[in-house]
Amino acid sequence: MLPPRMREIQLTPTSYLVLGLLAQVGEATPYQLKQQVDLSVGHLWSLPRSQLYAEPARLAQAGYLTEDREQDGRRRKRYALTERGREALQRWTSTPTAEFTELRDLALLKLFFGADPVLLAEAQLSELRTRLELYEVMRGLDDGSGPRGPWQALGAGTDYVKTSIRTWERIAREGRETGAGPSAAHSSPWA
Amino acid sequence: MLPPRMREIQLTPTSYLVLGLLAQVGEATPYQLKQQVDLSVGHLWSLPRSQLYAEPARLAQAGYLTEDREQDGRRRKRYALTERGREALQRWTSTPTAEFTELRDLALLKLFFGADPVLLAEAQLSELRTRLELYEVMRGLDDGSGPRGPWQALGAGTDYVKTSIRTWERIAREGRETGAGPSAAHSSPWA
DNA sequence: GGGTACATGTAATCAGTTACATGATTTA
DNA sequence: TAAATCATGTAACTGATTACATGTACCC
């Protein structure tokens, strides 16, 4: 099934992020991918620069991308989707995920284990408000044309940030009301 | 600083999760930790069983836990906090995190790259509603006594689920209105 | 005493992160 | 042409996941 000299690999979210970006831009070097990420999907799902060197290489090895090295000075590697890559992306997007996404929020974990809610809320709120401004600015750029997906995703992110703000405001308020400092982490939790 | 024969390790969220649980329950075997996780913090930050074998071992190696092997039949390993472990946990909880937690939501990533919003929303909503019921039941168990942290964290999780539901409902509605099926993933995103 | 569920671990693999190292282009 | 910045990669490490493998207790 798979042409010789190709490795079977498992496709991760990172893989699809790369495939998806390449579907949008046609072809790109890792550096260009990084730029793309930073001003689009990276606000939702960021990743370190080095992954944008490693992951395309991996995908090319497995036949999802073509890799094409420039001959001149920079000798950049240029990647583009193969048919196989396009199909994989298509299959992926057209299969709805039912899975619930855990928050995995470090601040909530600290809160769970007894951090001072008021201090934590302050730190979180300042960051969240900055983030909200950024998102609102970006949303203003939507002129209603082009694919809706990115904008809807951005809207979802905005909802999330807004809710987080309300949540932490409430937590801070409750914390101040009960005057409880950090609660000791030694009693039992939810039964 | 560090007693001989001990490895320096980096403490990850998983590490603190284990430290935190042990602070709550005193001592435990990996199996008991797993049970604890499943009915408390695991709803917020889950992890595979095997990590609850690997991580305590790692922590013990580095002097954060004592490891104590039973002599009888099961020969279970039993872990408890050392002073060093308790301090590390304390330091961690008392240092507020400002960092923003990305959603890293697979469904939103698919949406971004052109998945059909209506289908995706259906899948997500069914899962989210189940999750909401579970959280509501758990919240009913709060009798107001004991540390507030876990309950506040649960409240935050509930807010998050509720918002997600509203978000996906809106996405589905918009998707139906514009009648747009899955949008092709080939135009440009946020400028 | 045989089956089933509960309990306990190890091994192999690998994606992702951090750190290191260098080359090319522009501008002052 | 020197400095600064932009660009491009590789290497080492390691935490996390998946898969494998076994042992103990209980129940009928």
Q: Bigger pLDDT: A188 or A110?
A: A110
pLDDT at A48: 94
Query: Could you give the percent of chain B with pLDDT greater than 70?
Result: 88
Question: Rounded to the nearest 5°, which phi and psi values hold at A12?
Answer: -105, 175
Q: Are the beta carbons of A30 and A56 closer than 8 angstroms?
A: yes
Q: Bigger pLDDT: B129 or A8?
A: B129
pLDDT > 90? residue B85: yes
* Tens of pLDDT, residues B86-129: 999 999 999 999 999 999 999 999 999 999 999 999 999 999 99
Separation CA B109–CA B126 (nearest Å): 18
Band the pLDDT of A76: cuts 50, 70, 90: confident
Residues A33-51 have a mean pLDDT of 93
Band the pLDDT of A168: cuts 50, 70, 90: very high
Two structure tokens written together for B17 = 């999760």
Q: Are the beta carbons of B93 and B53 closer than 8 angstroms?
A: no
- Weakest mean pLDDT among A1-10, A29-38, A61-70, B51-60: A1-10
- Weakest mean pLDDT among A15-29, A67-81, B8-22: A67-81
Verify if strand C has an atom below 7 Å from the CB of A106.
no
Report the distance from CA of residue B191 to the C1' of nucleotide D21 in Å, as an integer.
53
* Tens of pLDDT, residues A106-123: 999 999 999 999 999 999
In angstroms, the Cα distances linking B155 to A169, B40, B48 are: 12, 13, 24
- Weakest mean pLDDT among A4-13, B55-64, B168-177: A4-13
Nearest to B110 among A92, A103, A190 (CB): A92
Nearest to A108 among B46, B126, B153 (CB): B153
pLDDT > 90? residue B50: yes
Mutation site for B-interface testing, chosen from A94, A97, A127, A136 by largest number of B Cβ within 10 Å: A97
Band the pLDDT of B185: cuts 50, 70, 90: low
Residue-averaged pLDDT of chain A: 90
pLDDT > 80? residue A93: yes
CA B133 to chain centre: 18
Q: Are the beta carbons of B139 and B161 closer than 8 angstroms?
A: no
pLDDT > 70? residue B1: no
Say yes or no for a CB contact (<8 Å) between B185 and A23: yes
Q: Which of residues 62-81 of A touch strand C (CB under 7 A)?
A: 72-75
pLDDT at A182: 63
Q: Bigger pLDDT: A185 or A65?
A: A65
Chain B positions in Cβ-Cβ contact with residue A175 (cut-off 8 Å): 148
